[in-house]
Amino acid sequence: MCGIVGYTGKNSALAPVLEGLRRLEYRGYDSAGIALTLEAGLPLWVEKRAGKLGNLEETLDQGVPTSHSGIGHTRWATHGGPTDTNAHPHLDNDGKLALIHNGIIENYVELRLALEAKGHHFKSETDTESVVHLLSDARKEHGGDLAAAMRQVCAQLRGSFTLLAIHSDDPERIVGARRNSPLVVGVGDGENFLASDVSAFISHTKRALELGQDEVVDITPTKITITDLAGNTLPPNEYEISWDASAAERGGFSHFMLKEIYEQPKAIADTLIGRMSGLDSSITSGLELVNINKVVIIACGTAYHAGLVGKYAIEKWAGLPVEVEFASEYRYREPYVDAATLVIPISQSGETMDTLMAMRYAKSHGAQVFSVCNTNGSTIPRESDAVLYTFAGPEIAVASTKAFATQLVAMYLIALHLGTVRGLLSPEFLAQIGDELAELPGKVEQVLETVEPLRELTRKFKDSTSMLFLGRHVGFPTALEGALKLKELAYMHAEGFPGGELKHGPIALIDEGTPVVAVMPTGNALLTEKMASNVQEVKARGAVVIAISDVDVPAATHLIRIPTTHEFLQPVLSVVPLQVIAYEMAVARGNDVDQPRNLAKSVTVE
């Protein structure tokens, strides 16, 4: 959801704010806006435009006054359509206070009615505008102290928010706050930054500070003060960002997604380093695993598909029952959960609101939480009893690829760890699976070397209205992931089915020329045969079948050959051609690959 950036320092603010917005545009791209402070007493300089950041940048060609402090916002609309007026920043009625916001203010209607009754005049349809009016009054009550005003206002808000505010009378100061929505501080030399994530300021500093729930941060070029809502000063929690600016750039690839597909071997290798012979106690010390009797995996979208694969591995290797739940459904059905339940939230961003809320529900009912996350310092790992970080590096394209690959690896590592703790795995098996895991990066490289013909082939189906994906066992979640990728990127109807379900309804969708992707690596002879029959069945009804397999599939129309690996590890290899199909289809249909319509990378609202 919306991207937020703030800069105050010795340099001109415009360049770092724009650079930050460019790097955060993956979070939302319905509209963008900037507010800059000038000298004390001069009015704020504000520009905002509906549409992508490029629209805003075009207006800046007409000249921008020099400023050393400013805030910028890129929006994913929730309340109020993507118009110039609804774009952030929003101003108070004096035009002196500017505010940007990510999240949803749930009590904005009652606040708005009360503020209008007091004479405040609203311009937009957003929930955010209530906050700027409230903040304006609170600042006056606190004699111009913006941080004190922010604390008071946050205590009045319900919902989720990251807020940044500036005031024209105090041009070097930016005040921010967060609840259930991300905000990090970048610590520079004579300059400081605030942003939704570290990629916004990574080319300027590698020093970052975490902010906790309901904390307010007040920055000037030389000072950073963090307080709770009661005004108590809190010690900074500093960490070093482990990747550099080039990791957040396209590096010669036409799109971030393509770059990220090709980064998968490294992401997998980085996630495996030091963990193949077991997870060490620095990761698992917060957990008491011996007495657990059930595992619940909670996640959304692609991460949910990684969880489905994890279920197969944990049930088989650790002998525990596993439920995989859509995080958005979990807490609302009030599921049974107790201290013997291990909950595993999976999240690339670590900020997905549905996952966070489901995890909090489970924790409040006594469950232990062992999260899988790609983003250091984010909320989900901070609130977990233990975390297994994936090392995919920054994933900028909205559609998840390398994060998925590393989430799969994390699920295998957790399944093996649980099986080991429960004494169920022999040293021979652990050695064998360890070897197979170690070979995954090289095998993904091999897949990437052979997908070129698939790019050409995919373009042939550019005008198809629908594409189906079939798989069995762990091939089924892989098929679901292939269908999700295609929907997101190609805006094409796509569905994934277990091969065996076909005859129970979906086969009616098959028509002359319908493209069907069959995920059918070998490993389980019985299932291989059954998938081969499914291929025959759809082909007999006119389907064009693209098989993804490590052996010949005579009935298929086209074959994408992938290397052989352990049956459970196959999704790591077989998903790669599916990602390439979705990528190529999006390009062929002229879609925006990295920023597909209606989506945002980090879904921080429920």
Can you give the binding site for ligand F6R, defined by CB under 6 A?
A: 300-303, 347-349, 352, 355, 399-400, 484, 488, 602-603
Q: Token pair for residue 238? A: 């500093």
Pair of tokens at residue 597 = 């319509």
Among residues 2, 154, 300, 373, the one annotated as catalytic is 2
C-alpha 260/C-alpha 461 separation (Å) is: 24
In this complex, which beta carbon is closest to ligand F6R, that of residue 13 or of residue 356?
Answer: 356
In the bound state with ligand F6R, the residue whose beta carbon lies nearer, of 192 and 602, is: 602
Residue 559, H or E segment: strand 558-561
CA separation for the pair 330, 323 (Å, rounded): 11
Pairing state between β 341-347 and 294-299: parallel
Q: Reply yes or no on whether 154 is catalytic.
A: no
Of all residues in the shown chain, the one whose CB is closest to ligand F6R is 301
Q: Which is nearer to ligand F6R, 126 or 349 (CB)?
A: 349
CB of 371 to ligand F6R, least distance (A): 10
Strands in 31-37's sheet, in edge-to-edge order, are: 45-50, 31-37, 69-75, 3-9, 191-195, 184-187, 207-210, 237-240
Q: How far is the CB of 372 from ligand F6R (least distance, A)?
A: 9
- Listing DSSP states for 498-558 in one string gives EGGGGGGTGGGG--TT-EEEEE---SSHHHHHHHHHHHHHHHHTT-EEEEEESS--TT-SE
| CB nearer to ligand F6R: pick between 219 and 300 | 300
Cβ 345 to ligand F6R shortest distance, Å: 8
Judge contact between 215 and 227, C-beta under 8 A: yes
Q: How far is the CB of 285 from ligand F6R (least distance, A)?
A: 25
Q: Is 605 helix (H, G, I), strand (E, B) or coil?
A: coil
Start-to-end Cα distance in the chain: 11
- C-alpha span between 373 and 381 (Å, rounded): 7
Token pair for 134: 């409230």
Does residue 2 carry a catalytic annotation? yes
Q: Could you say which of 259, 311, 443, 601 is catalytic? A: 601
Q: How far is the CB of 397 from ligand F6R (least distance, A)?
A: 8
Rounded to a whole number of angstroms, the minimum distance from the CB of residue 122 to ligand F6R is: 32
User: Chain centroid to CA 534: how far?
Assistant: 35
For ligand F6R, which is the closer residue by CB, 67 or 602?
602
Say how far apart CA 572 and CA 531 lie, in whole Å: 19
When the beta carbons of 30 and 488 are compared against ligand F6R, the nearer one is 488
Active-site residues, by number, are 2, 601
